[in-house]
Amino acid sequence: MEFEKKIAVLGSTGSIGTQTLEIAREYKGIKIEAMSAHSNIDLIEKQAREFKPKTVCLTDEGKAKDLKIKLADTDIKVVQGKEGLIETATADSADTVVTAVVGISGLEPTIEAIKAKKNIALANKETLVTGGHIVMDLAKENGVAILPVDSEHSAIFQSLQGCKDRREVKRILLTASGGPFFGKKREELVDIKPEDALKHPNWNMGAKVTIDSSTLVNKGLEVMEAKWLFGTDNIKVLVHRQSVVHSMVEFVDNGVIAQLGAPDMRLPIQYALTYPNRLPMKNNELDFTKYPSLTFDEPDTDTFYALKLAYDALKDGGIKPTVFNSADEAAVELFMQGKISYLGISDAIAKAMSEIKNIENPTISDIWETDKLAREIVYRFEKESLI
Ligand code: NDP
Ligand code: MG
- pLDDT tens digit sequence for 269-323: 999 999 999 999 988 999 999 999 999 999 999 999 999 999 999 999 999 999 9
15 in ligand 1 pocket by Cβ < 6 Å?
A: yes
| Closest ligand by atom to 124 CA | 1
59 in ligand 1 pocket by Cβ < 6 Å?
A: yes
pTM: 0.98
Distance, CA 14 to ligand 1 centroid (Å)?
Answer: 5
Bridge partners of 8?
Answer: 34, 97
**Is 184 annotated in some ligand binding site?**
no
Distance, CA 168 to ligand 1 centroid (Å)?
Answer: 35
Which positions of the chain have pLDDT values less than 50? none
Q: Which of 9, 10, 15 is the best mutation target for the ligand 1 pocket, counting ligand atoms within 8 Å of the beta carbon and taking the most?
A: 15
d(CA 280, CA 270): 10
- State the pLDDT at residue 1: 60
Nearest CA to ligand 1 atom 17: 38
Distance, CA 176 to ligand 2 centroid (Å)?
Answer: 8
List all residues 6 or more positions away from 241 whose beta carbon is below 8 Å from its beta carbon.
Answer: 177, 178, 182, 201, 295, 297
d(CA 18, CA 207): 15
Q: Where are the alpha helices (DSSP H) in 160-198?
A: 194-197
Distance, CA 246 to ligand 2 centroid (Å)?
Answer: 9
The 8-class DSSP code of residue 358 comes to: P
- State the pLDDT at residue 204: 85
Q: Which ligand 1 atom lies nearest to the CA of residue 12?
A: 9
Tens-place pLDDT, residues 214-256:
999 999 999 999 999 999 999 999 999 999 999 999 999 999 9
- What structural domains does the chain harbor? 5-148 (3.40.50.720), 151-262+270-303 (no CATH), 317-387 (1.10.1740.10)
Please give the order of strands across the beta sheet that includes 256-260: 235-239, 169-176, 245-251, 256-260
- State the pLDDT at residue 98: 98
